[in-house]
Amino acid sequence: MAKASKKNTIKLKFDSARKLAPAPESKAGAKIDPQYDLFINGKFEKPTSKKYFASINPATEEKLSMIAEANQADVNKAVKAARGAYDKNWKKMPPAERAKYIYRIARMVQERAREFAIIETLDGGKPIRESRDFDVPTAANHFFYYAGWADKLEYAFPNRTTSPLGVAGQIIPWNFPLLMAAWKIAPALACGNTVVLKPAENTSLTALKLAEIIQEADLPPGVVNIITGAGSTGAAIVNHPDVNKIAFTGSTDVGKIIQRAIAGTDKKATLELGGKAANIIFDDAPLDQAVEGVINGIFFNQGHVCCAGSRLYVQESVFKEVVRKLKDRLETLIVGDPMDKNTDIGAINSREQLNIINNYIKIGQKEGAEMYQSSADLPKKGFYCRPTIFTNVAQSNRIAQEEIFGPVLAIQSFRTDDEVIEKANNTPYGLSAGVWTDKGSKIFNLTTKLRAGVIWANTFNKFDPTSPFGGYKESGYGREGGLHGLNTYVNVV
Ligand code: NAP
Ligand code: MG
């Protein structure tokens, strides 16, 4: 009997999820041209500078394409095209007609979703599962959502009159390239503005693919202009006298430069900047779900998320248990080829960003914090970082105060609500936070006292086009998304 049962036992050897067979997504159907020009006035044009820079795949360090570098003359052309389209066309067009174009873009993004997901992953290093299941569908949803508002502004602003601002200059970062472009372009167009958008140097490809869609959708030339280049191209947009609004998502340092540059002008601005979000676990929380939420909160997209839960506060009585569960879970995360559908943590976006993250990991150790990293093997080529957690962290440590923008979590314990509120609020940032507890009263207490623009309860990193997003303090000002996102693209009288 004993023998038989032994024979029938299926021994589940669950060493590590890393032993799964590779399941790479095919690159077929995702066409990347060897060179991309600037999208100005409905056409692709060579840059006046005649200069191009390389965009690489951070997972392999291979060159993907050459991207045009726009200089001041190109920015002037793009702004002129946007102004012309605004005056002649877009602001006069019946809103329901504008909506049709935006719906068309949404549907075309959906139709080409696979192509967008593959190119997003190749160019930026994020796992294909994320670009496929999150970035691209959420980008399409933003176009659908704001298309719906275009002819209903009188309901968004009852008993008020709205008018568009004019030309919007939009500058976006490299962590959600297509999604950020959609966040910026969709509400601007719905409200009757025209656009000059600059993607980040490292991740221009999906914005240029979006330009192809905009061309195919037959949007009047000049309504959307997409110009590529480095920080100086962004600065030329910010300083252009004929731009009426700046919408910027990026670092707090550049946000401050922009704020200084537009001081004294009548340009409007929204700034979505850095973050250092606290996830807070109370002892009455469902711990397994909370651990999963924390893992998602910091390791999703390699921690390249402004609202990443990069700090964790755990109530003392469950501290050891939570840290043990986190370490166990860390070991099962699959780090590697972003094109593999099993991968949880893909490539860091650039060598520079990897150096920044590695430097913070050293700083954490020097500051006396205790480090734990997963034992995952990293690919030989490309930019990769093991998921890392620090315990024994002091509130004043740099790893608890500064934005790392990588897969690094700083963990501290707390005893009371007041203590954790004070600790969570004690950074220069205030973009997001997470609260894990069984008690609604605790959620309400914390959400009223935490100084963060978005607070998730018993979940994390949930996004929806209908919800406003934005920060407090050095995380910026203005809200994007939802009804609030319309407000920043209209004059209201
Ligand atoms: P970044 O260096 O500030 O760059 C953001 C964008 O600004 C890029 O397109 C960049 O061009 C451009 N730029 C650089 N210098 C400029 C200047 N002087 N004037 C105008 N534009 C300029 O930020 P990043 O490193 O790409 O992105 C990471 C940061 O973005 C993090 O701090 C993160 O928290 C923040 N972020 C915030 C949110 C949010 O919603 N709050 C969302 C995502 C990211 P180049 O890329 O060519 O240099
Ligand atoms: Mg790239």
- What digits encode the pLDDT tens for the residues 281-320? 999 999 999 999 999 999 999 999 999 999 999 999 999 9
**Which residues neighbour 350 within 8 Å (Cβ) at sequence distance 6 or greater?**
58, 174, 202, 383
Q: What is the pLDDT of residue 357?
A: 98
Of the pLDDT bands very low, low, confident and very high (cuts 50, 70, 90), residue 76 is very high
Using the CB atoms, write b or e for 437-469: b if 16+ within 10 Å: beeeebbebbeeebbbbbbbbeebbebebeeeb
Closest C-alpha residue for ligand 1 atom 4: 250
Give domain 31-273+475-492's CATH number out of 3.10.180.10, 3.40.605.10, 3.50.50.60, 3.40.1360.10: 3.40.605.10
- What digits encode the pLDDT tens for the residues 112-150? 999 999 999 999 999 999 999 999 999 999 999 999 999
- What digits encode the pLDDT tens for the residues 398-442? 999 999 999 999 999 999 999 999 999 999 999 999 999 999 999
Q: What is the pLDDT of residue 18?
A: 53
Nearest Cα to Cα of residue 227 among 244, 210, 242, 239? 210
Residues around ligand 2, an ion, CB closer than 5 A: 55, 123, 202
**Lowest pLDDT segment from 197-201, 314-318, 473-477:** 473-477
Angle at alpha carbon of residue 125, lines to 124 and 128, rounded to 5°: 105
- What digits encode the pLDDT tens for the residues 44-72? 999 999 999 999 999 999 999 999 999 99
Test site for ligand 1: of 226, 238, 254, most ligand atoms within 8 A of the Cβ:
254
For the cut 70, the answer to whether the pLDDT of residue 1 exceeds it is no
Active site residues: 272, 306
Nearest Cα to Cα of residue 400 among 298, 306, 278, 299? 278
Q: Which residues line ligand 1 (CB under 6 A)?
A: 171-175, 198, 200-201, 230-231, 234-235, 238, 249-251, 254, 257-258, 272-275, 306, 403, 405, 431, 471, 475-476
Return mean pLDDT, the chain.
Answer: 95
Q: Where are the domains of the chain?
A: 31-273+475-492, 278-464
Angle at alpha carbon of residue 288, lines to 287 and 289, rounded to 5°: 90
Q: What's the CA gap between 392 and 409, in Å, rounded?
A: 12
Cβ neighbour number for residue 63 with a 10 Å cutoff: 11
Test site for ligand 1: of 249, 270, 467, most ligand atoms within 8 A of the Cβ:
249
Q: What's the CA gap between 160 and 472, in Å, rounded?
A: 27
Ligand 1 atom nearest to CA at 261 = 19
For the cut 50, the answer to whether the pLDDT of residue 11 exceeds it is no
Q: Which superfamily does CATH assign the domain made up of 278-464 to?
A: Aldehyde Dehydrogenase; Chain A, domain 2 (3.40.309.10)
Q: How far is the CA of 170 from the centre of ligand 2 (A)?
A: 20
Sign of the C-alpha dihedral, residues 393, 394, 400, 404?
negative
Sign of the C-alpha dihedral, residues 17, 19, 20, 26?
positive
